[in-house]
């Protein structure tokens, strides 16, 4: 079932009811699978996608869909993680991905709440302000837009809580990813089967054979975009993380908290994210436990009556880069998308045709499963 009760996906797809043969079979109807399947179709492959439950289900369905640069950190810490050159490339490339997702949803008239509302990272104290200064400097050097804000500037966007200052990212966008993914599947006429889990598979001469309850699919290549599921031993290299979203009842106080439609995020290691959606206030946390304190801190004097609450898990490698590449002769992984997983999924999916054709580039070299050593063939699912 889709995790997010507020923005349901209406388009549904049939179950597989017969045996079939395809050039490529994609497993998993989240953002990673849909992105892979549609790029494969555009590249001329005969491709089908099977989904255990419904397109835009688990992580993609739950997601806030905020489109930000990179793969989950700020740019300055990314220099330590990937080196300056690769981090800069990733930031530049993902800046283009944000524009592409926003444009694609608008051009295709996909009803997924697309907005380029911008976001503001807020600092509570001097130490966080120093990090913001450094981040602003790094973005500027790279030519990406950012605006340094004083405490009083930030109050124009978030009048209720006193922050020391902030950094405005005007290019940040937001879509509802499950509606975007299913909308893309519809406009590009992808061949999709829902309620069709992969239950068994085997590699055979020239390809793979996949068993589902409705029929057997033979394909030359298999793409696994199954997020949290075991995948050829790659699960030893990702952790499961999760977020939970609290949505208020509709309230007239939305404009008191957010005079403009900006996304606010805090600078803690496990960030909090706040934004308005229509007449509701939204708070996203990594985990429940301190939500009463946080609601009182971020929304002082405003009654935040929780109307809906949902959460989900995603897979994330320790090096903050997804696992995208061949895990065996006929099997390619597109997993480990992390907390910036909408952008990462869209980007990773765009590389799948090239990977299947035997090519590579700086991103696929960075994201290759081979970075963990050769544990290919360790098994597909439990
Ligand atoms: C609450 C929350 C908020 C988030 N906010 C943001 C955000 O603001 N910005 C951002 O970029 N990212 C965000 N993320 C992260 C992002 O949503 C995920 O990283 C991304 O959606 C992962 O996509 P996916 O396709 O890999 O996984 P999923 O969406 O989980 O898709 C995997 C699919 O595989 C299917 N599957 C698994 N096994 C099988 C099988 N055997 N047979 C057939 N199908 C199978 C599953 O049913 C599922 O549909 C958030 C995540 C959560 C939970």
What ligand 1 atom has the least distance to the C-alpha of 66?
A: 8
Q: Using the mean position of ligand 1's atoms as its centre, give its distance from the Cα of residue 303 in Å.
A: 31
Q: Examine residue 309 and state whether it is found in any structural domain, yes or no.
A: no
Query: Ligand 1: distance of its center to the CA of 152 in Å?
Result: 38
142 CA distance to ligand 1 middle (Å): 30
Q: Residue with the nearest Cα to atom 38 of ligand 1?
A: 226
Residue 344 CA: which ligand 1 atom is closest? 11
Strands 306-317 and 280-285: unpaired
Instruction: Confirm if 369 and 325 have CB atoms less than 8 A apart.
Output: yes
Report pLDDT for 1. Answer: 53
The reply to whether 13 and 83 lie within a common domain is yes
3 state SS of 50: strand
Tell me, what's the pLDDT at 196? Answer: 98
C-beta 94 within 6 A of ligand 1: no
In a domain, 262, yes or no: yes
Ligand 1 center–CA 314 separation, angstroms: 6
16, 38, 60, best to mutate for ligand 1 pocket (most atoms within 8 Å of CB): 60
For atom 41 of ligand 1, the residue with the nearest CA is 198
Same domain, 229 and 108: yes
* Last-in-domain residue among 304, 325, 341: 304
**φ and ψ at 47, to 5 degrees?**
-130, 145
Residues 206 and 274 in one domain: no
Is 339 close to ligand 1, i.e. is its CB under 6 Å away?
Answer: yes
Q: Is the CB of 54 under 6 A from ligand 1?
A: no
Residues 110 and 140 in one domain: no
Q: Ligand 1 pocket, 336 CB below 6 A?
A: no
134 alpha carbon to ligand 1 midpoint, in Å? 32
| Residue 206 belongs to some domain of the structure | yes
- Res 373: pLDDT: 85
Q: Is 316 in the pocket of ligand 1 (CB under 6 A)?
A: no
Does residue 18 form part of some domain? yes
* Token pair of 169 as six digits: 């990212």
* Residues 152, 111 within the same domain: no
Does 261 share its domain with 369?
A: no
Q: Residue 207 belongs to what H/E stretch?
A: strand 207-212
Choose one of 304, 322, 350: the last residue of a domain. Answer: 304
CA atoms within 13 A on the CB side of 343: 24
Note whether 266 and 369 are same-domain residues: no
- Tell me, what CATH number does 128's domain have? 3.30.9.10
The pLDDT of residue 382 is: 39
CA–centroid distance, residue 138 to ligand 1 (Å)? 30
Both 163 and 184 in one domain: the answer is no
Do 7 and 58 fall into the same domain? Answer: yes
For the chain (382 residues), the mean pLDDT of every run of 10, in chain order, is 77 94 98 98 98 94 95 94 96 96 93 95 95 96 96 96 95 95 94 97 93 98 97 95 96 95 88 94 92 94 96 94 97 97 98 98 97 65 44
> 1 alpha carbon to ligand 1 midpoint, in Å?
12
Has residue 62 been placed in a domain? Answer: yes
Domain count, the chain: 2
User: How many angstroms separate the CA atoms of 228 and 341, rounded?
Assistant: 13
Residues 296 and 342 in one domain: no
Report whether residue 51 contacts ligand 1, using a CB cutoff of 6 Å: yes
Domain that holds residue 326: 1-116+172-241+314-382
Atom of ligand 1 nearest to the CA of 197: 42
User: Within 13 Å, how many C-alpha atoms sit on residue 308's CB side?
Assistant: 16
pTM: 0.96
Q: Tell me the CB-side half-sphere exposure of residue 69, using CA atoms within 13 A.
A: 27
- Count how many Cα atoms sit within 13 Å of the Cα of residue 234 in the half-sphere of its side chain: 36
Together in a domain, 93 and 129: no
Residue 1: CATH number of its domain: 3.50.50.60
Residue with the smallest CA separation from ligand 1 atom 19 is 341
Decide whether any atom of ligand 1 lies within 6 Å of the 274 Cβ: no
The protein residue with its alpha carbon nearest to ligand 1, atom 21, reads 60
Q: Distance between CA atoms of 62 and 40, rounded to whole angstroms?
A: 25
Residue 165 falls inside a structural domain: yes
User: Does residue 150 form part of some domain?
Assistant: yes
Going from the Cα of 62 to the center of ligand 1, the distance in angstroms, rounded, reads 8
Q: Check residue 338 and give its pLDDT.
A: 96
Task: Report CA(64)–ligand 1 centroid distance (Å).
Answer: 11
What is the model's pLDDT at position 270? 75
Do 177 and 280 lie in a common domain?
no
pLDDT of residue 2: 59
CA dihedral over 154, 158, 163, 166, signed as positive or negative: negative
List, as one string, the DSSP characters of 152-168.
HHHHHH-TTS--SEEEE
């Amino acid at each position: 079932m889709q995790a997010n009760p507020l923005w349901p996906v209406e388009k549904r797809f049939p179950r597989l009811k017969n045996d079939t043969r395809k050039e490529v079979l994609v497993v998993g109807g989240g953002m990673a699978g849909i992105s892979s399947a549609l790029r494969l179709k555009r590249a001329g492959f005969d491709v089908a996608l099977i989904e255990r439950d419904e397109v835009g289900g688990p992580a993609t369905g739950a997601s806030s869909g905020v489109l930000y640069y990179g793969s989950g950190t700020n740019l300055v810490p990314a220099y330590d993680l990937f080196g300056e050159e690769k981090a800069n490339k990733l930031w530049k490339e993902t800046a283009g991905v944000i524009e592409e997702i926003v444009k694609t949803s608008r051009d295709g008239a996909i009803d997924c709440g697309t907005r380029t509302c911008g976001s503001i990272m807020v600092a509570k104290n001097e130490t966080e302000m120093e990090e913001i200064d450094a981040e602003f400097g790094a973005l500027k050097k790279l030519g990406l837009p950012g605006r340094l804000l004083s405490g009083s500037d930030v109050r124009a966007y978030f009048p209720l809580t006193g922050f020391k200052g902030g950094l405005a990212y005007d290019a940040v966008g937001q879509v509802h990813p499950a509606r975007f993914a299913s909308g893309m599947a519809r406009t590009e006429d992808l061949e999709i089967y829902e309620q069709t889990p992969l239950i068994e598979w085997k590699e055979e001469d020239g390809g793979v054979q996949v068993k589902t309850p409705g029929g057997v699919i033979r394909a030359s290549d298999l793409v696994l975009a199954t997020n949290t599921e075991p995948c050829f031993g790659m699960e030893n290299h990702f952790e499961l993380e999760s977020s939970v979203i609290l949505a208020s009842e509709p309230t007239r106080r939305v404009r008191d908290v957010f005079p403009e439609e900006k996304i606010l995020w805090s600078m803690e290691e496990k960030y909090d994210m706040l934004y308005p959606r229509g007449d509701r206030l939204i708070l996203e946390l990594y985990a429940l436990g301190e939500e009463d304190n946080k609601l009182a801190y971020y929304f002082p004097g405003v009654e935040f009556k929780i109307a809906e609450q949902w959460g989900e898990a995603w897979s994330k490698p320790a090096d903050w880069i997804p696992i995208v590449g061949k895990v065996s002769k006929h099997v390619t992984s597109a997993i480990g998308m992390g907390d910036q997983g909408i952008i990462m999924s869209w980007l990773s999916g765009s590389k799948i045709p090239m990977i299947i054709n035997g090519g590579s580039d700086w991103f696929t070299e960075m994201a290759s499963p081979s970075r963990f050593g050769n544990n290919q063939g360790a098994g597909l699912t439990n």
